[in-house]
Chain A
Amino acid sequence: MKLTLRVWRQKNRDDKGGFETYQLSNVDEHASFLEMFDVLNDQLINEGKLPVAFDHDCREGICGTCSMVINGRPHGPMSTTTTCQLHMRHFKDGDTITVEPWRAKGFPVLRDLVTDRSAFDRIIAAGGFISVNTGQSPDANAILVEKEKSDLAFEAAACIGCGACVAACKNSSAMLFVGAKVSHLALLPQGEPERGQRVLNMVKQMDLEGFGSCTNTLACEAECPKGISAMNIARLNREYLWASLTENK
């Protein structure tokens, strides 16, 4: 395949950045989108240019590192698919493809397509855990968990923290990510005593990081590579409201 790529180039956090256009020929339709970028970078290095910086690691769709907005959509045109699992057979010979970094105030660009998503870690550090020290646990089967709830918790826990939800949202809201984590932990009997404080702390940190509010357009759900349900946002709202009314702090 022959392709024209319009790629966002930005030297560092302070640089203004802009698009550059590259021509690629002989792209294999079985290559993944990131492998196509490897080929582009090889070509750029051979031409004496700087390769495009982009985040990637496992290339199996699970680590959540890869993060490109492809033709306006985080992780590209396929539903429930990360960029690393997107293959070139879904594009046509002669296509022009525009590639940008995640776009959100909470995710500043570090270089080219690489963004800083450490805000997500700070939200987890603020409360996204169950407080149990190593070695202080009862026998695993002493805590019974209803299968249906356990399955729901798993579905929320399947979030890979890639940030596509934020990049897809017109308000750059992180509520699908936070909702998934709050749901995962609130659905389980473990950690029940800190359930209210957890959601209050996480939402407070989410706001501090500059993420916007949810207005229920559901773009996050549509673009989530793991199919995380927006029902988790509803659960987040309910948990937050309840905690606001009942917690003393």
Chain B
Amino acid sequence: MALDAKIPAGPLENKWTNYRSTVKLVSPANKRKLDVIVVGTGLAGASAAASLAELGYNVKAFCFQDSARRAHSIAAQGGINAAKNYRNDGDSIYRLFYDTIKGGDYRAREANVYRLAEASVSIIDQCVAQGVPFAREYGGLLDNRSFGGVQVSRTFYARGQTGQQLLIGAYQALERQVGLKNATLYTRHEMLEVVIKNGKAAGIIVRDLVTGEIQRHGAHAVVLATGGYGNVFFLSTNAMGCNTTAIWRAYKKGAYFGNPCFTQIHPTCLPQHGDYQSKLTLMSESLRNDGRVWVPKAKADKRKAADIPEAERDYYLERKYPSFGNLVPRDIASRAAKEVCDEGRGVGATGLAVFLDFADAIKRLGKEVVSARYGNLFEMYEKITGEDPYTTPMMIYPAVHYTMGGLWVDYNLMTTIPGLYATGECNFSDHGANRLGASALMQGLADGYFVLPYTIGEYLSGEILSGKIDTGSSEFAEAEAAVKQRLSAFVNNKGSKPVDYFHKQLGKVMWDDCGMARSRESLMRAATEIAKIKSAFWSDVRVPGSENELNQELEKACRVADFIELGQLMVQDALNREESCGGHFRTEYQTPEGEAMRRDDAFMYVSAYEFKGDDMPAELHKEELKYEVVHPTQRSYK
């Protein structure tokens, strides 16, 4: 199937306006005849479900958490970008668009990114009207700050809890629709299959995680808003429950998967400290505004930080990137940390950490000012490590954070399956090969509040005569049977090892061989290792309990089964992409100075994979990226 991105004609700045003025509409009387399912209730899902219910569609929203308010969007700390130009510092929609395209290393679709920048302006209005308590100045106006990779102050924030506050706004909007009976919310329900009928999405199969009951839900359109798949690495900054199952099931039913190998590694996380560890904690990027990153000049220098004199320290970011220093973008900072640790100059017990030192900032500004800026982060650090960052430097290391890949979608946010949509982090669009700070929240809300409610009408206008979806059809029965068969296979397997054993193995292979740096050699090795893990998993996994009860091990087993297959696709994609860009660094493709070497002539495309059967390589389709407005250049931060 040829990929059609369905980008509207006309000049970039008019595409979205013209589209909205000409797109097909559904009359209010017909909207109530149409059912829409939204899976996931993070920023993208909750905002979409609330907005669609307001419009008059019958909405069913699903989440695996015990409340819609707990989706992992809550953990985003820093802020949300918007081209409001409230600082009068020359910001504009075009600038936000340009920064995002450049930050993504020219691997995103221009039309989508421009629309994102346009929508950003309305997002702030919407959230303020909902009562999101953004930071304010004494005059009563909204405050802003600047964030990595940009030269204007366009980031709106609510202390260190921006994601939490934005999600509460969207969650409350959704609960309001639940109270008005325009939407039904199914918490502790996990989607395990998508149902396709006559080539179109017709509904989903879910498991009630409390009773184990398998349910069929039909709809005229299905929206997936299920977040990223960073937990394929086992250790990541994602919540424990974040998984790939919904999008992976969709992929196996015919939705193409875009850019699976693009993973963002965040430079300022707490380093790993033991085998029992379950996840990695992110510290806000804003720490690099005042903290200085360094390691000892000598290898295996195990002295305490205070005992290492100034002359024997290497402030490597300031040395290598004098004009950006400690504020280089995430991909650059992460790779630099890996490099010094690989040289044997890492610090801490494992040697996989670098110092983030506030001594100079405290000397310059005083402890009080530093505490006002970063106090909550310092407390968090102390709580986790037991060390006081005011007196000893923090230790940080890069960790898996955000996945730029996801289901391929066209301009309407529709996947290659008609009637199946993907929004927010679970689609591939908008961030290219790397994501700038404060842009994930922006995309989730733009998709849910301001894009999908328009674009879904285009499709649904053709579904008015369909009538109620019959969940008794053979397509539903087959999908349900497949889910039941899968679940009972797990509980009857009687293997010897718990699910986590395999997940940790997978994570190690992914991190070592398809992580911050990859090579043909390491990726070939990963392919072999994952195949072994896959067969060991299916023959030897032990899932205690039954499928007819609350069974968290069974939930994990289903998710890890899908992660293993996703890992294979990520490796396939990373092998194909013989260039370095953003979150994808192939060691064979670097400049003489060790920087990423993009190959625009050969790889300026979105890789979109089509499922061809279990244990078969996926088929690669290419969506050529045409840069009509921006002219790609090499990114330099020297």
Bits for B117-141, please: 1 = Cβ < 8 Å to A, else 0: 0000010111111110111111111
Q: How far is the CA of A42 from the CA of B498 in the complex (A)?
A: 7
- Interface presence of A110 (CB below 8 A): yes
Q: How far is the CA of A160 from the CA of B164 in the complex (A)?
A: 8
Could you tell me which residues of chain B, from 440 to 485, have a CB within 8 Å of some CB in chain A? Answer: 449-450, 453
Q: How far is the CA of A149 from the CA of B279 in the complex (A)?
A: 36
**Closest CB in chain B relative to A123 CB, distance in Å:** 9
- Interface presence of B312 (CB below 8 A): no
- Interface presence of B322 (CB below 8 A): no
Q: How far is the CA of A125 from the CA of B128 in the complex (A)?
A: 20
**Closest CB in chain B relative to A190 CB, distance in Å:** 5
- Interface presence of A211 (CB below 8 A): no
Bits for A32-54, please: 1 = Cβ < 8 Å to B, else 0: 10111011011001101111010
Q: How far is the CA of A148 from the CA of B278 in the complex (A)?
A: 39
- Interface presence of B297 (CB below 8 A): no
Interface size on B, residues (CB 8 A): 78
Contact assessment for B380 and A61 in the assembled complex, using a CB-CB cutoff below 8 Å: yes
Residues of B within 8 Å of A89, CB to CB, are 386
**Closest CB in chain A relative to B545 CB, distance in Å:** 6
- Interface presence of A140 (CB below 8 A): yes
Q: How far is the CA of A223 from the CA of B471 in the complex (A)?
A: 47
One of B131, B141, B544 near A45 (C-beta < 8 A): B544
Contact assessment for B141 and A144 in the assembled complex, using a CB-CB cutoff below 8 Å: yes
Q: How far is the CA of A147 from the CA of B210 in the complex (A)?
A: 44
- Interface presence of B36 (CB below 8 A): no
Contact assessment for B172 and A130 in the assembled complex, using a CB-CB cutoff below 8 Å: yes
- Interface presence of A128 (CB below 8 A): yes
Residue of A with least CB distance to B68: A121
Q: How far is the CA of A146 from the CA of B542 in the complex (A)?
A: 57
Residue of B with least CB distance to A134: B51
Q: How far is the CA of A116 from the CA of B66 in the complex (A)?
A: 7
- Interface presence of B318 (CB below 8 A): no
Q: How far is the CA of A130 from the CA of B50 in the complex (A)?
A: 13
Bits for A6-23, please: 1 = Cβ < 8 Å to B, else 0: 000001100000000000
Q: How far is the CA of A62 from the CA of B86 in the complex (A)?
A: 30
Q: How far is the CA of A137 from the CA of B542 in the complex (A)?
A: 53
Bits for B178-191, please: 1 = Cβ < 8 Å to A, else 0: 11000001010000
Contact assessment for A141 and B279 in the assembled complex, using a CB-CB cutoff below 8 Å: no
Residues of A within 8 Å of B75, CB to CB, are 58, 60, 62-63
Contact assessment for B274 and A64 in the assembled complex, using a CB-CB cutoff below 8 Å: no
The chain A residues found within 8 Å of chain B, CB to CB, are 11-12, 28, 30-32, 34-36, 38-39, 41-42, 45-46, 48-51, 53, 55-65, 81, 85, 87, 89, 110-111, 114, 116-118, 120-121, 124-141, 143-147, 150-151, 153-154, 157-158, 160-161, 184-185, 188, 190-191
Given contacts A58-B74, A140-B142, 10 further A-B contacts (CB under 8 A): A11-B549, A59-B281, A62-B74, A65-B70, A85-B384, A116-B66, A124-B172, A131-B176, A133-B51, A140-B134
